[in-house]
Amino acid sequence: MNKKKVLVSSLLIFISFLLICGGVSAQVTYHPSLTHKTGSLAYEHTKYLANEIGQRIAGSENERLAEQYIFNQFKQMGFETEVQEFTYVRRGAEFKSSNVIAYKPGKSKQQIIVGAHYDSVSVGKGVDDNASGVGVMLETAKVLEKIKTPYSIVFIAFGAEEVGLQGSNYYASKMTEAEIANTISMINLDSLAVGDHMYVHGSAGEDGFLRDQALAIAAKKKIDLQINPGLNPAYPAGTTGDWSDHAPFKRLGIPYAYFEATNWEIGEQDGYDQTADHGGIWHTSNDTLEFIEATYPGRIQKHLTAYSTVLTDLLKFANKTSTAK
C-alpha cells in the first residue's frame, strides 16, 4: 500500500476521533429526574460550565466550548436554535464571539426575551458571574419545554458581556422595529449564586410589571426576594444601573426585569459589594465552587432553586396580574 495513502488514512481516522470526542464533550445529557428537583439541573449546568470548561474569557476557545454546550442543550430540548456570530474590536484588535438563541413558541406571538451571558473574566471560574445565570436559564427552559406559555420566549446566551456588553448590544442592534414592538419585556439573569440577598430589579414605574409580579410570586412561595431599597439616590428603589445585558434593551424602550444576588446595603450601596464578609466575589479568584461552597454552605443551591422557581412561574403566568396559581 502507498505510504502516503496510509498516512492520509491515519490522519483522517485521528481527525474523526477528535471530532467525535469533541462532539461528545459538548453534547452532555442529564437524567430527566433532575427536572423534578428545582435547582438541581441549574446546579449541574453551573458546575459544568465552571469546572469542566473553566474560565470562558471573551473571544477564547473556552468561550466557544461554552457556546457549543449551550447550543446543544437547547437543541436537545427541541427548540429552534441558532448561533449569532459577531465581531468586536477591543484595544485595536478584532475578536469573534457569538450569541446562542433558542426560540420557544407560546400561545401568543408576542415575546419575552430571557438572557444570561456565558463568558467570564480571567480570574476565578465564573461560577457566580455568570454560569449561575446560564444554569437557571437552561433549567427553566427545560422545565417549560412542553408547557404552552402565554407568550413566546426567546432564550439568549450572550457572548462577550464582560468586555462591554458586546453580545447583547449586537443582538439589540439587529432587532427590527416590529420585533421591538413585539417584545413585552426582557429578563436578565446575572450573578445569582453568592450574594447576601436575592434581588429582582425592574424598569421604573408601570414598566416594572414583571419585577412586581416576580415579587408577588416569591411572596406566595415564601422566597426572600427583595428589591434594591434605594439607599443610594443614584439608583431609585426597585431599579438598578445600566451595567448588564438588560441595558441595550432598556435603551430600545423595552421594559426589563433583572435578577441578581448581591448586597445593596453595604459599601457604596451600588450593589457592587456582594457580601458583608468578603465584598465582591465576581471578578475575583474567589468565584469558584470550592470557595463559595466552603464559605457559604448551601447558598448556591438555595439561590438557584429560588430563582428557577420564580422565573419558571413568571414565564408561565406572565399574562396574569396576580401571583402564580
Q: How far apart (Å, rounded) are the C-alpha atoms in residues 310 and 290? A: 26
Listed residue (177, 142, 188, 161) closest to 59, CA to CA: 161
Grid cell at residue 81: 436554535
Q: How far apart (Å, rounded) are the C-alpha atoms in residues 256 and 249? A: 8
CA 15 to chain centre: 33
177 is catalytic: no
* Residue tagged active-site, from 139, 161, 162, 260: 161
Q: How far apart (Å, rounded) are the C-alpha atoms in residues 158 and 169? A: 9
Element (H, E) at 101: strand 93-104
* CA angle (49 as vertex; 28, 85 as ends), nearest 5: 85
Q: How far apart (Å, rounded) are the C-alpha atoms in residues 13 and 19? A: 10
Cα separations (Å) of 124 from 56, 57, 63, 103, 132? 10, 11, 15, 32, 14
Q: Burial letters for 95-109: b for 16+ Cβ neighbours within 10 Å, e otherwise? A: bebbbbbbbbebeee
Concatenated DSSP letters of 254-310: --EEEEEEE-TTSTTSSS---BTTTB--TTSTT-SHHHHHHHSTTHHHHHHHHHHHH
Grid cell at residue 137: 436559564
Catalytic residues: 161
